[in-house]
Amino acid sequence: MDVPLIAVTGRRRSAAGLHSGPPALDALVLDAYFTGYAEHVVAAGGLPLHVPGGVDPAAVMDRADALVLTGGNDVAPARYGAVADARTSSLEPERDAFEIALLAAARERGRPVLAICRGLQLVNVADGGTLHLHLEEHAHTREHDVEIVPGSVLGGLYGASARVNSLHHQGVDRVADGLAVTARAPDGLVEGLESEGLVAVQWHPEQQEDAPRPVFRWLVDAVRSPGHRTTS
């Protein structure tokens, strides 16, 4: 069987401090994502395709078999009728627009989607939901349990609960129509969302060294299920 081609989004950053060349390179821009995303796509049996900003989303999803929306900075509050404040982290409105277009292209083609952290928040906003601008109790790295809804995709992957990490300071406020909440933190914060062909988690499974990462296996298996094709 062909290896599924999995599109993985990233972010744009200044090259300053990230190269060993002459200072002139500081003016250049990098497209990058944390290696863990690609490593776990490979471990699950997929072939990661890094998607730089500015390419045609439709062309990407014509060729890719699935999509991973990765973590990053805050989704622009203006997209859900809110106003940024001093705690809002560096906004990337171009990335917001690009990834929303990728999400739409993936759905139009029936491609499975895995959305992680910012990715979950972006999906909710793209579908008409809103976010909490700042959650102090979640604004640092820690571990906690999540309760998972029986019968959901996440429930089939993790069981009734899972130990996860927390590296975010925003979260879902009003859930968009069409998205089902399938996991919550002890304080009630949404930690999992699902719709047909889409699984979104608020935590970072690619950073959990000592925990299983079945969501990546779900993504690859979803490509290979009846009704999906591989392009690689």
Report the catalytic residues: 117, 204, 206
For residue 221 the two structure tokens come to 């298996």
Residue 9 half-sphere exposure toward CB, CA atoms < 13 A: 34
For residue 198 the two structure tokens come to 């889409």
Q: Which string of DSSP letters, residue by residue, matches the chain?
A: -PPPEEEEE-EEEE-TTS-SS-GGGGG-EEEE--HHHHHHHHHTT-EEEEE-TTS-HHHHHHH-SEEEE---SPPPGGGGT----TT-----HHHHHHHHHHHHHHHHTT--EEEETHHHHHHHHHTT--EES--GGGSS-EEEEEEE-TTSHHHHHH-SEEEEEE--S-EESSPPTT-EEEEE-TT--EEEEEETTEEEESS-GGG-TTS--HHHHHHHHHHHSTT-----
